[in-house]
Structure 1
Amino acid sequence: MSSKTWGMSDEIRAYLHGISLREHPVLAKLREATKPLQWGGMQISPEQGQLMALLVQLLGARKTLEVGTFTGYSALVVALALPGEGKVIACDVSEEWTSIGRSHWAEAGMTGKIDLRLAPALETLDGLIRDGAAGSFDFAFIDADKKNYDGYYERALTLLRKGGLVAIDNVLWGGKTADETVTDEDTSAIRALNRKVHVDKRVALSVLPVGDGLTLALKL
């Protein structure tokens, strides 16, 4: 997550928002409520959220998955872009952070579209696969603990239909993934997945310098 697109000047950001951003008022309210929190910078940028909403609409998505919910901005973005019968299964472990999202989901009338699963995400994803959900999801967004990114990616691919899209956040990681001298666990995990997806013949991909770097991988 990143509340701003990495490397973008304030002037360009303001111009971009002025000519492009169509942020739902409850999304704007949630973004402002998240900003002063201790980890408020983890929230996705509004321009990234709008891109994700457009992708969901282009896919004609109805069944979506989110790994890492934080205060619920991205889940609400996707829910608002879905048709009436659409669903977001949102995976997180924090009752504290997601409670902020729940109140805003309710305010936006989206509570019925968002199924929050408070448990380790790998367990939730494995449960979905065991229950026969493989190949049934249209879109997945990964934005959680970095050491498990590879596991999330593999399970998301299993759960996606052919032609489904997985979006992976923080692939630039503040520029650290490009610096081979940075070898902490999180950076190394993201860097390893970036290399893996680059040569993964199961997907078509594009890496966009939006937010903190966003990989889009289309299941072939």
Structure 2
Amino acid sequence: MYETKNPQLTPELYAYVLAHNPPLTPTQRALVDTTHRELADVAGLQTAEEQGPLLSFLVRLTGARQIVEIGTFTGFSTLSMAQALPEGGRVIACDVSEEWTAVGRAAWADAGVADRIDLRIAPALETLRALPEGPWIDLAFLDADKGSYIDYWEELVPRMNPGGLLVVDNTLFHGEVTDPAAGGGAAAIRAFNDHVRADDRVDDVLLTVADGTTLARRR
């Protein structure tokens, strides 16, 4: 195995990356700052700042109109995708917290995209199983409880349109996926990554973006 070409991501290099990505909109910036200020203890649940422009880019690249998001938190990823949708597009956003998503609701309204977002407060598996069967989803973003990733995957993949894109966050789990003794979320992500690699319904790639981002295209 050859050495990685990835440089060490110092604070200075990370700032450079953010500075050379599309800038966040004022509403996105305010939402990120509000989350870190008002929910500091759990702000690490927020999608990484560089993933906002990436999600917007992927929505535009794929021409996605029907999006399903598992794990909304304060709605930064939701906002990023909704802003990139064409007219008539929709994000079904799944979460269990009225408190956290209320922060997102205010931001979505401020950005003028609230009518594109269908927020469903319930266990995500219940929401997914109630969705229409057969292929109709263009893009899915998964960033929720790691122990249920495989269950979510199995509900999403059959509903993806051919060529539809699944985007999965935290697939390196803070680097702990390489430690066979690590349990909990790390063990769940190891099992999930193996599950995806063995799934002949998709083409997939695991990238070292943020805490690991897997992209999978429905065949």
- In which range does the TM-score fall when normalised by the shorter chain? over 0.9
Taking only the aligned residue pairs, the percentage that are identical comes to 45
> Letter of the aligned partner of 1:219 in structure 2?
R
Q: Give the TM-score, by structure 2 length.
A: 0.93
> Letter of the aligned partner of 2:117 in structure 1?
I
The DSSP-based 3-state class of the residue aligned with 1:167 is strand
Q: What is the rounded CA distance, in whole Å, between the counterparts of 1:123 and 1:34 in structure 2?
A: 27
- 1:141 is matched with 141
> Letter of the aligned partner of 1:154 in structure 2?
E
Q: What is the rounded CA distance, in whole Å, between the counterparts of 1:96 and 1:114 in structure 2?
A: 17
Tell me by how many angstroms 1:35 deviates.
1.2
- 2:164 is matched with 164
- 1:50 is matched with 53
Tell me by how many angstroms 1:21 deviates.
3.0
- 2:31 is matched with 30
Structure 2, unaligned runs of 5 or more? 1-7
1:113 to 116, 122, 126: 116
The DSSP-based 3-state class of the residue aligned with 1:115 is strand
Q: What is the rounded CA distance, in whole Å, between the counterparts of 1:19 and 1:183 in structure 2?
A: 37
Structure 1, unaligned runs of 5 or more? 1-6
Comparing 186-195 and 106-115, the one that deviates more? 186-195
Tell me by how many angstroms 1:133 deviates.
4.3
The DSSP-based 3-state class of the residue aligned with 2:83 is helix
Determine whether 1:78 maps to 2:81.
yes
State the aligned residue count.
210
Tell me by how many angstroms 1:60 deviates.
0.5
Determine whether 1:204 maps to 2:211.
no
Q: Which has the higher contact order (CA 8 A, sep 6+)?
A: 1
- 1:66 is matched with 69
Q: What is the rounded CA distance, in whole Å, between the counterparts of 1:8 and 1:88 in structure 2?
A: 32
Determine whether 1:98 maps to 2:98.
no
What stretches of structure 1 move > 6 A for 4+ residues in a row?
none
Q: What is the rounded CA distance, in whole Å, between the counterparts of 2:51 and 2:149 in structure 1?
A: 19
* CA RMSD in angstroms, aligned pairs only: 1.1
Task: Answer whether contact 1:21 1:46 (CA < 8 A) is retained.
Answer: no
Could you report, residue by residue, the CA deviation over 1:36-59 in whole angstroms, capped at 9, with x for unpaired residues? 312001111121111111111111
